Structure 1
């Protein structure tokens, strides 16, 4: 019997055991819910998420300022390239300023413009890497003397230098895509740390609020019976022996005075409203249980 029961427990999956019943301890730990995840750090938990996001903003700020300066210095003779570069740099600069405001005020909606700019940069770098890769794979010797200026590639082996140029461009674009994906992940994590689109997912401070005593409740709609009348016995209130329901409703000819006395008792005790409405039978002059409302 013990042998069969032991084999039965060995065949059961580990997930069916509780912590006390699992003899091997091989059950995987439960997955953490989304609302219980820690969004306060980045870089494998070594850097605070606010500092990491701020550092990324500083890098983009330096890059956008350098791009604005280069658009007026390096491309001063080419108006179209200068204005295109300048526009992209200004948009990036404003999104970076919004990022700093969001980190300072801890409001996630200020991070959305910067996150969109990063996503567009990722798409642009990915498209450029694909173009470089296509040119690198389809490179043939016809791109040599007839299509490449000798001043660009002064050495004899022009085909090799073209391959190296496209290869380095592809590698740089792929490296930029990797860093851009990491930047997007950090900013998105900071967005969730600041509350995201629904509610705050930061650790809640489980501290009790300061105690404030409240006054006792007041029931304005209820007027209690005065103390003197409440202490009087029921026989005194009735003016005689109390009639039970059986005696009251089984009597063939109950009197109107009994109903009046019961009404007075219920009003004094504040048990329920008792309306003085008695329906008298014209023929018999009697009352029933349904006649008293």
Structure 2
């Protein structure tokens, strides 16, 4: 699971665009004898995934949502969602050159979710697993979405685009809304979502947000036991005002630079309404310096913690 995640993150974007990432998922699914469903291009609009489409429509390779399932239908439903931005220019709110250097790793959430799925399937945990991976490249061309655009998400939420570089939460929003529709026992998403998380906690300690404090405590304990540390952060409701919009339900970025990881998590929470519990990991997926068991480069984060919790509960 760890090697799968690391290898995908380390692959440069010229070798791992949306087409190649889909192919890697299909190879994974074939190995485990699973069926894959893909919704791509304008079909995303027809099937009501407008935010995934908007973020990825400027790229040479079409945006898409990749899905597969495993396990017995009667078992508890666990759904995993991973951010699959194969490269992030920032869109029209373009990143400075230094900010783009590591953006091949912006699909680190998808890579880690795929690694976690492997661990769950290989251990034959007693869950009905569903995996949703929205895949895009946030590129710049004529069809690029713009600051000031209003998007209507899958669940009906209207989103004002305050910054096109806050694109990961948009594609996750549509995928989380789909995951939520079947009211699963648990939804876990992983995403290389905010620089604010790194400013607060550095590269080795991902923030964990959850609608269930008992779940959060269990994930922290499982992470501590497996050298995969997490840090519980609050879904602080008063900060909703920081992503308020005068013309839509919510702004994807907001005007304030404060509490960026928290406000991103608050944004995502709007798309989870029916699931019994939800956990969001704002991971870095990169080791800037080699450590024991963690070579330099793409790294697994959150896999061992979530797997340890699931094994204890459903093993």
Verify same fold: TM over 0.5: no
Q: What is the TM-score with the length of structure 2 in the denominator?
A: 0.18
Higher relative contact order (CA 8 A, sep 6+): 2
Higher relative strand content: 2
